[in-house]
Amino acid sequence: MRVVDTIAELRQARAQLQGLVGLVPTMGALHAGHMSLVNAAREDCDTVVVTIFVNPTQFAPNEDLDAYPRDLPADLAKLEAAGVDLVFTPTPETMYPSNYQTFVEVEKVSQGKEGAHRPGHFRGVATIVTKLFNLTQPDAAYFGQKDAQQVAVIKALVRDLNFPLDIVILPIVREADGLAMSSRNVYLNPNERRAATALNRSLQAAAAAYDAGERHPERLRQTALAVLNAEPLAHVDYVSVADAVTLEELTAPSENPILLSLTARVGLPRLLDNCLLPYSLNTREALTRILGGEV
Ligand code: AMP
């Protein structure tokens, strides 16, 4: 496994790669969710490239950029064991030198939900992903359902800017009690860790209502919200019931699959979770096709 941290080394290493190249962009502090993307890329592609970069432009000034968990030695050991070929670990100065002034904005799907709560976040995401696509020129890039609106932003980016690559979406990997794995879960104390299961429990409650025939978006939203509100340590930011293809908020029952997404602060971290409804659509194949539309 080759590890490089400069643009020149990355370009030189990329030029030597043969066959299908799969890219997995990450911010490090790798867990089994990240590794599911790496393993999928390893199965599909001849060469796997992973990037580890805590991207400052996707953090708002009041967010946890400095405190974001970092553990490069442990990350590299996991990637080596998984058979990764090339790892890119640039510094912020390498990606954003002092005269840096170009940003990418994806308009419609960046609005609302995470976009409303994290101003500038998706501009930072779209910019870094564009740069990583240009630098690594992958045939396929792997992302997690966990960041569902990010998936829609990246799919729009790939369509609109004509990147010649496939986007593959992998389902959320969860702890045994249902909590979605996240690098930020390390911030949770034992009580908060127990309370954090309310996010998945609220998705499950709405999924059960959907299975029982409920289709009205507001009633599905209230079903999820009631479970979250019953947990005193969870402070809800939003519960969204949206069209899974367009990500537009639903106000009336729709024939299309639904993206039910929510965020809540539990202790320090803001936690995210989501699912497609019907629940049977939370698979690689369905997510890749449906979430954020076709590439
Ligand atoms: P991050 O390092 O948080 O930027 O995440 C890198 C990639 O891993 C993104 O595409 C995430 O959506 C994905 N990811 C994060 N958590 C999970 C999870 N629990 N299951 C599957 N994918 C995940």
34 is catalytic: yes
Half-sphere exposure of 107 (CA within 13 A, CB side): 1
Q: Whose CA is nearest to atom 17 of ligand 1?
A: 33
Q: Return d(Cα 153, Cα 251) in angstroms, integer.
A: 22
pLDDT of residue 85: 98
Judging by DSSP bridges, how do beta strands 234-243 and 270-277 pair with one another? unpaired
Task: Report the separation in Å between the CA atom of 249 and the middle of ligand 1, taken as the mean of its atom positions.
Answer: 24
Q: Which residue has the tokens 């479970």?
A: 227
Q: Does the Cβ of 179 fall within 6 Å of ligand 1?
A: no
With H, G, I as helix, E, B as strand and everything else as coil, classify residue 246: coil
Do 237 and 122 belong to one domain?
Answer: no
Q: Does the Cβ of 182 fall within 6 Å of ligand 1?
A: yes
**Rg of the chain, C-alpha, whole Å:** 19
Q: Does the Cβ of 170 fall within 6 Å of ligand 1?
A: yes
Do 213 and 68 belong to one domain?
Answer: no
User: pLDDT by residue (tens digit) across 141-191?
Assistant: 999 999 999 999 999 999 999 999 999 999 999 999 999 999 999 999 999
Which long-range CB contacts under 8 A does 185-193 form with residues at least 24 apart?
Answer: 185/269, 185/271, 186/29, 186/69, 187/267, 187/268, 187/269, 188/266, 188/267, 188/269, 189/267, 191/233, 192/233, 192/266, 192/267
With H, G, I as helix, E, B as strand and everything else as coil, classify residue 16: coil
> What is the total count of domains within the chain?
2
Task: Report the separation in Å between the CA atom of 12 and the middle of ligand 1, taken as the mean of its atom positions.
Answer: 28
Q: Whose CA is nearest to atom 14 of ligand 1?
A: 144
Q: Does the Cβ of 183 fall within 6 Å of ligand 1?
A: yes
Q: Does residue 178 fall inside a structural domain?
A: no
The answer to whether the CB of 263 falls within 8 A of the CB of 271 is yes
Task: Report the separation in Å between the CA atom of 233 and the middle of ligand 1, taken as the mean of its atom positions.
Answer: 24
Do 191 and 59 belong to one domain?
Answer: no
Q: With 0.85 as the threshold, say if the pTM is over it.
A: yes
Do 166 and 204 belong to one domain?
Answer: no
Select from 23, 34, 187 the residue to mutate for testing ligand 1; criterion: most ligand atoms less than 8 Å from CB.
Answer: 34
**Residue spans of the chain under pLDDT 50:** none
Q: Which of 143, 170, 197 is the last residue of a domain?
A: 170
Q: Which of 116, 138, 170 is the last residue of a domain?
A: 170
With H, G, I as helix, E, B as strand and everything else as coil, classify residue 72: helix
Token code pair at residue 112 = 């609302």
Q: Does the Cβ of 143 fall within 6 Å of ligand 1?
A: yes
Q: Does residue 177 fall inside a structural domain?
A: no
pLDDT of residue 46: 98
Q: Does residue 295 fall inside a structural domain?
A: no
Q: Does the Cβ of 149 fall within 6 Å of ligand 1?
A: no
Q: 73 φ, ψ to 5°? A: -60, -45
Q: Whose CA is nearest to atom 6 of ligand 1?
A: 26
Token code pair at residue 123 = 């501009």
The answer to whether the CB of 150 falls within 8 A of the CB of 125 is yes
Q: Does the Cβ of 172 fall within 6 Å of ligand 1?
A: yes
Do 52 and 139 belong to one domain?
Answer: yes
Q: Does residue 175 fall inside a structural domain?
A: no
CATH code: domain of residue 247: 3.30.1300.10
Q: How far is CA 239 from CA 16, 28, 88, 109, 114, in A?
A: 46, 27, 35, 17, 11
Question: Which range of residues forms the domain containing residue 162?
Answer: 2-170
Which long-range CB contacts under 8 A does 42-46 form with residues at least 24 apart?
Answer: 42/82, 42/83, 42/84, 44/20, 44/140, 44/168, 45/19, 45/20, 45/21, 45/139, 45/140, 46/17, 46/18, 46/19, 46/20, 46/21
H-type helices in 118-260, by residue range?
Answer: 121-136, 148-160, 190-195, 197-211, 217-229
CATH code: domain of residue 101: 3.40.50.620
Task: Report the separation in Å between the CA atom of 252 and the middle of ligand 1, taken as the mean of its atom positions.
Answer: 31
pLDDT of residue 103: 98
Which positions ≥6 away from 86 have C-beta within 8 Å? 1, 2, 3, 4, 10, 13, 14, 17, 47, 48, 49, 50
Do 163 and 18 belong to one domain?
Answer: yes
Q: Does the Cβ of 34 fall within 6 Å of ligand 1?
A: yes
Select from 37, 170, 184 the residue to mutate for testing ligand 1; criterion: most ligand atoms less than 8 Å from CB.
Answer: 37
Q: Catalytic residue among 34, 117, 121, 216, which?
A: 34
